[in-house]
Amino acid sequence: MTPRVVFPNRILPYLLLAPQLAITLVFFYLPAVQALYQSMLREDPFGLRSRFVWFANFRKVLADPAYLNALHVTVVFSVATAVVAMGVALLLAVMADKVVRSRGLYRTLLIWPYAVAPAIAGMLFLFMFNPSIGTLAVLLRKAGIAWDPLLNSTDAMVLVVTAAAWKQISYNFLFFVAGLQAIPKSLIEAAAIDGAREVKRFWTIVFPLLAPTTFFLLVINTTYAFFDTFGIIHAVTGGGPGKATETLVYKVYNDGFVNLILGESAAQSVILMIIVIALTAIQFRYVERKVHYG
């Protein structure tokens, strides 16, 4: 039982909470409500008048092939980013766990990319994979791969996924390292004595015991891929070629701020909001059940 803190003053607690609540209200709830309202408005081409149209924007957006394309792109992009970022991070964490000497140095270096701003990370990859001047592009071409993210949509997707995943690997790595350290060494030893070799041990003992960490990171990474990758996509491909890397978030920006179709853009935001709420709810409800805590 945690001791209960009792405030003698009835108003003071609310006063102390007020700044935090005010910020949340002004910067999160207000815009959300506004977006909800705006998603039901339609403006004339000159932006002089707007009309209340109920769900017309939603109907239009959901019937738009370009929007369905963005949805598809987002799913592919998010799944790929989460899988790559988590897979690579787990691999690195397992390896770093085995390093005996200068383990701290490896860890520090592996954590650095997280400090790089998304747009800069994007530029980094843009340069490295630039078909004409990029060092890695040259290597790829030498290896016989016709690398051209400016024209080939698969290449473009690979590029944004790489850039987005690269940035997230550090974060995942940190959690996986902590997760691995929390597994008692004697369990691994017991499994070794029980006749399980390294790979078997990993899949039957280590991986299941990492499940809480993996689950947590799954939520974080999906949310990241959905929302926080705008900067990377903007810098690397700008949603192209064609609309091959245009995710839902990118389309919201494009339609709203570039093409100034505010009503539809707002409708897209609302849909996005619903998707994320649903995703998180599903993850917590179903995935968590298969996770063994403790």
Task: Give residues in contact with other proteins (CB under 8 A).
Answer: 100, 184, 186-187, 189-197, 200, 204-205, 208-209, 211, 292, 294
* Residues pairing with 43 in the sheet: 50
- Parallel/antiparallel/unpaired status of strands 41-43 and 50-52: antiparallel
Q: Give whichever of 169 and 209 is closer to other proteins, judged by the CB atom.
A: 209
CB of 181 to other proteins, least distance (A): 16
CB of 208 to other proteins, least distance (A): 5
Q: Give whichever of 8 and 195 is closer to other proteins, judged by the CB atom.
A: 195
Q: Give whichever of 142 and 292 is closer to other proteins, judged by the CB atom.
A: 292
Contacts of 229 (CB under 8 A, 6+ apart): 77, 81, 118, 160, 164, 247, 249
Q: Determine contact, residues 247/74, Cβ cutoff 8 Å.
A: yes
Q: Give whichever of 164 and 206 is closer to other proteins, judged by the CB atom.
A: 206
CB of 189 to other proteins, least distance (A): 5
CB of 177 to other proteins, least distance (A): 20
Cα 216 to chain centroid distance, Å, stands at 12
CB of 282 to other proteins, least distance (A): 23
Spatial separation of the C-alpha atoms in residues 219 and 282, rounded to whole Å: 10
Spatial separation of the C-alpha atoms in residues 14 and 99, rounded to whole Å: 50
